[in-house]
Structure 1
Amino acid sequence: MQPKKYNIVINIVMAFVVTMFFSCQSKKTKSQGYLISEEAPIAEAFEVNLKYTDSGRLTAVLKTPKVLDYTNKSFGYHEFPDGIVLDIIDKEGKVSVVTSDYAISYQLTGLIDMRGNVDILTADSTHLQAEQLYWDKNINWVFTDYPYKSYMSDGNINEADGFDANQDFTILNSRSNDGLIFIEE
């Protein structure tokens, strides 16, 4: 009688072990190929020269040594860790150049954050320098709370602790200004 009970228990244990063994599955599938960290970008691009067009007209050229694509995140973004050079071309073909040491572009909000030696040289020779600058591409608005310095084409110089302006700088709200302004008598 004892061996019969022993065989029944062994069969039940074996059935349980076999069931557990075959019910376990790997979370990695063959289509995944590589395991990717959730912190890693889904794509990287090097030596990028990207041209933007609107209705067949070239409107901007973005050059950067490296782009990291994090659009797989819930708040997706593109990171430019080695900086950017952006040529903006207006309807008359005049070019304004924006450079920075670092930039990040958020997909959902349309906000671009540029940091480190931000430099803007407009088509009319206005030159603006700042440590950080934001551009809201949805409403074409530029702003910063950091100190900046601007050199106007007429020789005027303005320094302040922050500003906000439309992207053409025809509307400019500046805070705590110091500067040099030439006035004709």
Structure 2
Amino acid sequence: MLLNFVTAFAVTLFFSCQSNTSKTNNYNIGEDAPIAEAFEVNLKYTDSGRLTAILKTAKVKDYTNRSFGFQEFPEGIVLDIIDKDGKVSVVRSDYAIFYKETGLIDMRGNVDIKTADSTHLMARQLYWDQSINWIFTDQPYKSILPDGTVNEADGFDANQDFTILNSRINEGIMFIEE
């Protein structure tokens, strides 16, 4: 009797199971769709327990499942970079994209950087190579240094702290003591 019950139960289970692939296929992510999206992000980065950066954005789309993965910030970013002395530099842009494999950040549209020492840089597009802490662009930009020096040019490259700056085809106003 027990054998008949187990057999009947097994047969019922076998025939009652059906494929749900038609239901689960509705959840497949399209090839061009992000694998994740986040809204109203306030992300804090730390290094050895010290707060080093705060990233704020209205929207992030994650495409890191692709062969050359990236994260897109279609509504722009505000990035506060905090140095070891607690001084804050602020980076803003209307749009940004971060390439995971290379560590390169491409910022576009009203890129605005205000460093802790009051250097102000404005550009249409700016690249930041995090792996070597280098910033560069081939687009027009304008910088205003703490001493009032103004520089406008069609491209530059610099280290992250702007202590090394190579500017191309530029015009500007520089104050020199006599």
TM-score (norm 2): 0.86
Query: Which residue matches 1:156?
Result: 149
Query: Which residue matches 1:40?
Result: 33
CA apart distance, 1:29: 7.5
Q: Does 1:141 align with 2:134?
A: yes
Query: Which residue matches 2:85?
Result: 92
Map 1:22-61 onto structure 2 (within 5 A). 28=21, 34-61=27-54
- List per-residue Cα deviations over 1:21-40 (Å, max 9, x = no partner): xxxxx894776661211100
Amino acid at match of 2:146: S
C-alpha separation in 2, matches of 1:90 and 1:78: 25
| Structure 2 runs not aligned, ≥5 long | 1-18
- List per-residue Cα deviations over 1:68-97 (Å, max 9, x = no partner): 000011000000000000000000000000
Q: Does 1:102 align with 2:95?
A: yes
Change beyond 3 A, Cα 1:28–1:104: farther
Change beyond 3 A, Cα 1:160–1:27: farther
- List per-residue Cα deviations over 1:4-57 (Å, max 9, x = no partner): xxxxxxxxxxxxxxxxxxxxxx89477666121110000000000000000000
Number of residue pairs aligned between Structure 1 and Structure 2: 160
Aligned-partner SS, 2:162: coil
Aligned-pair Cα RMSD in Å: 1.6
TM-score (norm 1): 0.83
C-alpha separation in 2, matches of 1:76 and 1:29: 29
Percentage identity across aligned positions? 77
Query: Which residue matches 1:177?
Result: 170
C-alpha separation in 1, matches of 2:137 and 2:24: 45
Q: Does 1:124 align with 2:150?
A: no
C-alpha separation in 1, matches of 2:115 and 2:21: 52
